[in-house]
Amino acid sequence: MRGANKFCRTFKETQQIGRFYLVVASHARGPTFRIFILPDGEKAKPNGGSNAPLNDNAVEVYGIVSGQPGWTESYGWLHKGKWQNDFIALYEERKRLNETATEQAIKHKADKQSGEDLRIRGLLELYR
């Protein structure tokens, strides 16, 4: 759904990173993404699926801002503050790490295929 796609592609699963609890989920119409801020030093108490954590003091700061949930929802900031910049920095860092990992995987696969091509060619050239 609008405002959820890029974050879901980058984070891929529900997780706690520092004080952020990121809820990555989906429904029939597409991905969903919510961010909760937890009290300093508190561990998230997962509630499964696309649900809020069970922590009493968690505050949802990113979630559905308009539309009908499950059909036409759009995601955005529910509360504005310094956590926005902190999250965007975290997102950019994670995105860069994911891109680097993807590039390395592609290079590894190409190197492996090149080695396999050499092996096959060598074996077939020796055929008499």
Structural domain for 109, as ranges: 5-125
Ramachandran quadrant class, 10 (left: phi over 0; alpha: psi -120 to 50; beta: rest):
alpha
| Selection from 107, 77, 90, 72 nearest residue 10 by Cα | 90
Query: In angstroms, rounded to a whole number, what is the distance separating the alpha carbons of residues 71 and 10?
Result: 23
Query: 44-55 pLDDT, tens per residue?
Result: 998 877 788 999
Q: Greater confidence, 82 or 98?
A: 82
CA–CA separation, 33 vs 8, rounded Å?
7
Q: What is the pLDDT of residues 104-114, one digit of tens each?
A: 888 888 888 98
Beta bridge partners of 17: 20
- Indicate the number of domains in the chain: 1
Sign of CA dihedral 56, 62, 65, 71: negative
pLDDT digits (tens, 9 = 90+) for 55-90: 999 999 999 999 988 788 999 999 999 999 999 999
